[in-house]
Amino acid sequence: MPVLGRLLTPHQVCFDFRRLCNGFPVRQDAKLIRLWILSDMEHISSLVTAQDANCSSLSDARDSRSSRALDAVEAARELMLATLLIGTSIETVAASVQMSKGHFLRVFKRTTGTTPHSWRLGEKVRSSQRDLQRGNLSLTAIAHRYGFADYAHYSRVFKQVIGTSPSLWRAKATNDARG
């Protein structure tokens, strides 16, 4: 029975009815009606509770939802990786997996432990490491290639993800490759 946008179990309705009636003076015949309604509601509540205990459909439904969520997040990750250099809005990614933006953000965070934006920034940094190893592009060119506003922004995000600046990482990577 929906009340103010939430579903109530028969037990909750029974409890709410008791709480509502106990605060007001009630005539004797109304008390009998109330007792009859409460006993029926408690009986229904016990039947529903017993049915829930015997039925695994609720857990099956949860498994199905989590499986769909994992599939949607995996598809979203593939799309974001495929469009890493050109960038795709979160709205577009969410629409591609048939979710609203808000729902997609919640599902992605619950599944991966990070937001789609943070995940994408991390992937940009990890992809940029290959360009840093090659050494044929300037740090500013690499920053612009991966969609960062400038080198300072790229360096700040790189340091958050990797733990060192891009220039130090490049120097260490080229020294390791030489020797």
Together in a domain, 38 and 74? no
Residue 177: HSE in the Cβ half-sphere, 13 Å Cα cutoff: 11
Between these two residues, 63 and 76, which has the higher pLDDT value?
76
Query: Do residue 13 and residue 48 come from a single domain?
Result: yes
Together in a domain, 109 and 137? no
CATH label of the domain that carries residue 124? 1.10.10.60
Name 13's Cβ contacts closer than 8 Å, sequence gap at least 6: 1, 41
Tokens representing residue 168 in the block: 């130090």
Please, are residues 108 and 76 in contact by the beta-carbon 8 Å criterion? yes
Q: What is the pLDDT of residue 177?
A: 76
Domain that holds residue 32: 2-54
What is the tens place of the pLDDT at every residue in 125-166? 999 999 999 988 999 999 999 999 999 999 999 999 999 999
Q: Specify whether 100 is located in the same domain as 74.
A: yes
State residue 142's pLDDT score. Answer: 96
**Cβ–Cβ < 8 Å for 43, 78:** no
DSSP state of 64: H
Q: Tell me which of 24-33, 92-101, 113-122 is least confident.
A: 24-33
Does the pLDDT of residue 10 top 50, yes or no? no
Number of domains in the chain: 3
Cβ(93)–Cβ(79) under 8 Å? yes
